[in-house]
Structure 1
């Protein structure tokens, strides 16, 4: 789709929102709810994603009477990878899919980049805020520099939630963090001399072997119990 002018955006939205105007769209831009690119001459250039974003905002205003603050929070969550469910509900954490490396180890988000707050991790994993905080304190969850958690933290939280049902607490899981760090160190050691795409391929391949070995050893040990 070719970039649209602001007038073309108004026309695209007019059937569903006949009262939308150029001034309205400029106001929403000034509020930071949409940020179209600018041409070299300074003209706004809207993409299809910008139009859908505006449609979401206008529906939320008209159908739910959401204030701009609430809409801004919803858009920020969508930008972090949460899934919009329409203006009738807040964005939600994406449905998890199977982990292709360790099929039985639990769910993994389906490859999309996502950044979750601690509250969102708790809701999606079934853990209360204190349990999430304990996992962070014991190094099982590691938010990034921006304070958000990635999909692997969600998978770890869900696994920890499953273990918690058997009385396993965060403090009991520190050995897993230490073992994981050692395995990561091994991957870095054997791939450290490589650079660029070759390094990425090697890290992926060695990482898969490490995960497969870890899973095989755990499964083997459980099969031989007793």
Structure 2
């Protein structure tokens, strides 16, 4: 397969995939396409499946590339059995899955999360929920992502312990500061003009987010242990 064939095969499940992303993963040793006499890359079915594995682990499990690389090496060496494959996600042209594309209103989220609309409206007014601009569309086309349903469900569970939108608003602000820190940390990569650097910046953001999330979890567990 040519690189355009690989992109076409992956585009439905991973709308954000680009040439630069594939070349970056090649540079990192995840795939090893052969070169024709004229220098063009040619990919095999195994390359396509390895790419699908890497992209799925990043998307669904937020794993850093170093961890995914170790998993693949262990699989190649027979030291690790593959988990049950995660199912593909068909996406619309704007980059949203069909389920996400339906979440155009707060009432859609309330219905999906099985909560009252008033509860979702409070979260939205407090800034806990935010609209997302759909990719490759006019700027005024917005939607709520699938993970917003999970946010509502978690907020509903927390409300049973007396933790409401007032507490969540400060937590959301803390998350925003963490996002700004991640963005600042990879600015030197994102600012470069090469497509490889942009792909490297995207992967660095994912790994930094995972590290910050893990650190936050450790702090919480440590604090709770002291309470006990």
TM-score by length of 1: 0.49
User: Larger Cα Rg: Structure 1 or Structure 2?
Assistant: 1
Quick check: which one's helix share is greater?
A: 2
Relative contact order higher in (CA < 8 Å, ≥ 6 apart): 2
TM-score by length of 2: 0.48
